[in-house]
Structure 1
């Protein structure tokens, strides 16, 4: 949201463009009501980027496109595999273009004030590429792992706080999923993402990012860390049972929170582990 306000502020003298950005953001904010709102927002960002000559603004618009199209692709049914792959390819290609505009060389911002924007561009490159890999299948996408790992490390060096320590979240998840990588290292990355984003909501304290919670729980179960698993599971279960707290918990990610809570409630493996060990 802060990115949008900054863009509108920079474009205050170009009212039509500012209105278009605001329209796209309004659509994106309504993504939970209909996933096509995210797709429409993405196309507006893409059109604006194609005609924008100022380097920083064009990069930001491309990053916003990659963010919006990621949500749309992620929410499509698994049966639409080819469409999902094509969408994530568009997402990581746009984010890569954004990064190229902002970087002096790979991982190095062209200007010091570009650091966080470059980290965001790399994040949406990695999130789209990571989802592309999930849809493609781990073994069929192993060739992309070095690229994904390299770009996630760029983020850690630039600004690891972006998207709720998102590089730690994605990299930790990847280590837990990819054959022959270190589960221990993956769990520690996810632990960092979890502990660095703690908030108090109602009577519980937990990460403000519900996706981080899901990934962390799955990793704790895999590594058999019972005590921490039981604590995190109980806290998230308490939140899931109190819908009135969801907006307070993380208003900007309410659609993602709802999706993650639904996934959590349907996850028989986590529930079984909790019942057996907590």
Structure 2
């Protein structure tokens, strides 16, 4: 009976739940795309839901494979920590992946799949982070595989932790607060230049903030500027960064949400 449960029932339950979550998140993305007056709160909540669903799919898969309370507790703790640490870096990476998919959509004359792609990217990236995090902590029968996994995952994990907590105000359970939505720009702009270079020339930053600036400056040139949605996102982020006063990851998280929202609310990719 245990063999049947492990070989048939558990995989079926896991894949069924994962498929339902994917369809749900993509469906929410389509609803966001169709709204003519999308508000920032709706996008923030939809994004957060997609991130939680990605974590949830992997957590449930692992919980079904164990009855040990210590391991269950460990999985839940890993899930909470990995979700919080990776939230801001995944916003950046998911936005970058969506800019690439926008070019593909344009090639096939698909005009309105930005938010479904964004939310799906978020869900998949959070699921991937959870898979790696649990694999590193739980280990593997092969020591070589575990060491190689740690060798690859550790630098990215450290970098994610550094850029997610660059200011004392970042040490909060939740990675952003909608109470600060009035502090970001309310206008869509087009990109002009790398906004991180002038910031690097200034003094007064701690080592974590400097790390974030160097990482952001190095990756900025990799973001394409061909698509209309992409141009609006980059330009709006540039405007926010040039007027930034609170140099903290929580502000940058909300700033990315704001850019994603404004780029879609003006139907710039329609």
Give 1 or 2 for the bigger CA radius of gyration: 2
TM over 0.5: same fold? no
Which one has more relative contact order, counting CA pairs under 8 Å at least 6 apart?
2
The interval holding the TM-score normalised by the smaller chain is: 0.3 to 0.5
TM-score normalised by L of structure 2 = 0.33
TM-score normalised by L of structure 1 = 0.32
Which one has a larger percent strand, Structure 1 or Structure 2?
A: 1
